Structure 1
Amino acid sequence: MWHVITDGPIKILKEITVVITTESTPKMVEKHRSEWTTEDKKKANLDNVSKDIIYKTLDKNKFVKIKTCSTTKEIWEKLTQLCEGNDQTKENKLIVAIQKFDNAKMKPGETLTEFDEQFSAIMIELNSLGKDYSNCEIALKVMRVLPGE
């Protein structure tokens, strides 16, 4: 089903056997709906099935933004743009995440578990934006932000 999302709806094709070609690859044309087999119908319906799955997972705000899309591929591209943004947006998100990492400090009265949750969230965000730190860099950062006691 993933190929329907990335490549678009499946076209049901048939090989033309009447035409003689000098090429070694057979000539393909789209089958008329009256010629479809049960398997062809299932393949052709994959776009509708995948749209239905996506529709069921979206909240009303996101659904309103994609309801005019006609294929699953269009929906996926629109959602990707909405959620990830363009290159400038991604760069801005990365800068903000790096600043969070640089400014991370353990607050007075904060437990080690609470700090670990906060710091892990920052690391997950950085990783999802393509920024990786070595274990040594992470360990040094944690050692610097822990209170003396």
Structure 2
Amino acid sequence: MQAHIAAKDDDMWYIITDGPIKIMKANTAIAITDGAPHRIEKPREEWTIEDKRKSNLDNVATDILYRTLDKITFRKIKMCKTIKEIWEKLIQLCEGNEQMKKNKISVAIHKFNNIKMKTGESMDEFDERANSIINGLNALKKVYSNKEIALKVVRGLPKE
């Protein structure tokens, strides 16, 4: 059973990264010369239950993703026709191109370098804000050592 579930997960990831699965069959009308049969698209009337499941994976994955998106993001991807197109659009929206990534890193580094505890801010609030900046940097593959982080946070505390 576990291997069957893993196969479904592999199929799902395949359609996200490579596009919908085409249901194929060996073409017996063409002679096999190199050991591998020539493949053609399988007519729908010949589809097995497994073929139908694989063919529908794009719709299943799209439905799952639609249910997780907020209204603003949904409006940005609703014109995409396949889960692969949706995935690529989401990557573009969330990560951006290389220049956008560099800009995000620059902004996050600037925030990290200039972090100061605000007047009236509790230690918990300051810690949460600092961790948010550090986690953002980590997500952008800009990692600081624990020593650098500790020094930066201590310097950001008020003198009193």
C-alpha distance in structure 2 between counterparts of 1:57 and 1:33, whole Å: 31
C-alpha distance in structure 2 between counterparts of 1:107 and 1:79, whole Å: 34
Percent identity reads: 62
- Match in the other structure for 1:99: 110
Q: Does 1:59 align with 2:70?
A: yes
Q: Give the SS at the match of 2:25.
A: strand
Cα distance, 1:39 vs. partner? 0.8
C-alpha distance in structure 1 between counterparts of 2:118 and 2:59, whole Å: 51
Cα distance, 1:18 vs. partner? 4.2
Cα distance, 1:15 vs. partner? 1.8
- In the TM superposition, 1:1-149 aligns within 5 A as 1-149=12-160
Cα shift readout 1:67-101 (whole Å, capped 9, x = no counterpart): 22111101111122122222111111111100000
C-alpha distance in structure 2 between counterparts of 1:11 and 1:59, whole Å: 31
Cα shift readout 1:111-146 (whole Å, capped 9, x = no counterpart): 221111010000011111111111121122122222
> How many residues were matched structurally?
149
Cα distance, 1:106 vs. partner? 1.8
C-alpha distance in structure 2 between counterparts of 1:132 and 1:95, whole Å: 13
What is the RMSD of the two structures over their aligned residues, measured on CA atoms? 1.6
Q: Give the SS at the match of 2:40.
A: strand
Cα shift readout 1:13-56 (whole Å, capped 9, x = no counterpart): 11234432321323222111111011100110000111111222
Farther off after superposition, 66-75 or 52-61 = 52-61
Structure 2: 5+ residue stretches without partners: 1-11
Q: TM-score, normalised by structure 2?
A: 0.84
Structure 1: 5+ residue stretches without partners: none
Cα distance, 1:61 vs. partner? 2.5
Farther off after superposition, 58-67 or 4-13 = 58-67
